[in-house]
Structure 1
Amino acid sequence: MNAPPPDLEHPSGLEAHLRGLEQLYAAAPINQRFISRLTLAEAGRARIDFTVEERHFHAAGAAHGAVYFKMLDDAAFFAANGLVSDRFLLTTAFNLHFSRPMAAGPAVAEGQWVSGRRRVLVAEARIVDAAGEECARGTGTFMRSRIALAGLDGYRTEA
């Protein structure tokens, strides 16, 4: 039997939930393809430090759009899921706007919750390169699924 979800009204419950989400991110098989680290300093905000590598390039020598989408979606998703301790969220829509190509090197995706807390949540994210230039931004909608966070490999909230 799974433990009850962390109580987000108490600092210890919130802290356990955020660390559990960071562990869940690190455990996802897709993240073996990227040098990246999720940090959740507070509910509703997420930061992913990542490195664009040449193996992520399209034929014209810059990061493929798949890298932009993955990092923006993840940053927005984890910002939103930081507010939900019982269920895994699902992305239902995501709008992405490219503003400049990303070269090889470090970058940051920052996500922030915008609205909604019950069934559907909205969050936005942006990518900034090592020079401090915004490369892309996006907005996503996320819906509560029937998947319990406590049942997912990687999501651990015990001390």
Structure 2
Amino acid sequence: MPHDLTPEAPEPAGADLHWRALEGLYASAPINHMFRSSLEILGEGLSRITFVAEPDCFHAAGAAHGTIYFKMLDDAAFYAANTLVTDRFLLTTSFNLHLSKPIKGGAVVAEGRWVSGRRRVLVAESRLVDEEGDEVARGTGTFMRSRIALSGLPGYAGAAA
């Protein structure tokens, strides 16, 4: 009697299912089709976005425009915070940026980490690291629960199914 020695991959459950659905939500957002980026939820309160800074996002002086810093820092912090909220989409209520080095192109990583809050308002921070390993920016945001159910959003619902 033959035995299959290849273990079956377990079905995602609980938190892991929510995290994969958040990754699907990120991938489905129209704004994210404009950039070469991807989200990975690393665990509760932790996210990583990889991004390629290309000349089409540069300002006139040849480096990434500040909107790119904001987008990547906000997204990383947002998704780190939303790992703790399984029913509602969060909204950014404030975000502080500290830019320390121009991004001249190449691979950039945004790392997000939840800091505090679990009920109505959550705080998370993020940092951007360039391909040389230098931190180029840092940010802190506050996020609040919206009335928008995650389960009603196509990118989330499709990944959670």
Q: What is the TM-score with the length of structure 2 in the denominator?
A: 0.91
Query: Unaligned 5+ residue runs, structure 1?
Result: 1-10
1:62 and 2:63 matched: yes
| Number of aligned positions between the proteins | 148
Shift of 1:95: 0.2
Shift of 1:104: 1.1
Matches within 5 A, 1:9-48: 12-48=13-49
Matches within 5 A, 1:8-157: 12-155=13-156, 156-157=159-160
Cα root mean square deviation, aligned? 0.8
Shift of 1:124: 0.1
Percentage identity across paired residues of the two chains:
66
Question: 2:7: which partner in 1?
Answer: none
Q: State which structure, 1 or 2, has the greater radius of gyration over its C-alpha atoms.
A: 2
Q: Which whole-Å deviations, capped at 9, do the CAs of 1:8-47 have from their partners, x for residues lacking one?
A: xxx8210100000000000000001100010002010000
User: For the residues of structure 2 that align with 1:15 and 1:157, how far apart are their CA atoms?
Assistant: 10
Question: 2:9: which partner in 1?
Answer: none
Q: Which whole-Å deviations, capped at 9, do the CAs of 1:49-107 have from their partners, x for residues lacking one?
A: 11000000001000000000000000000000000000000000000000000011001
Q: What is the TM-score with the length of structure 1 in the denominator?
A: 0.92
The list of structure 1 runs, each at least 4 consecutive aligned residues, that deviate by more than 3 angstroms after superposition, is none
Aligned-partner SS, 1:112: strand
Query: Unaligned 5+ residue runs, structure 2?
Result: 1-11
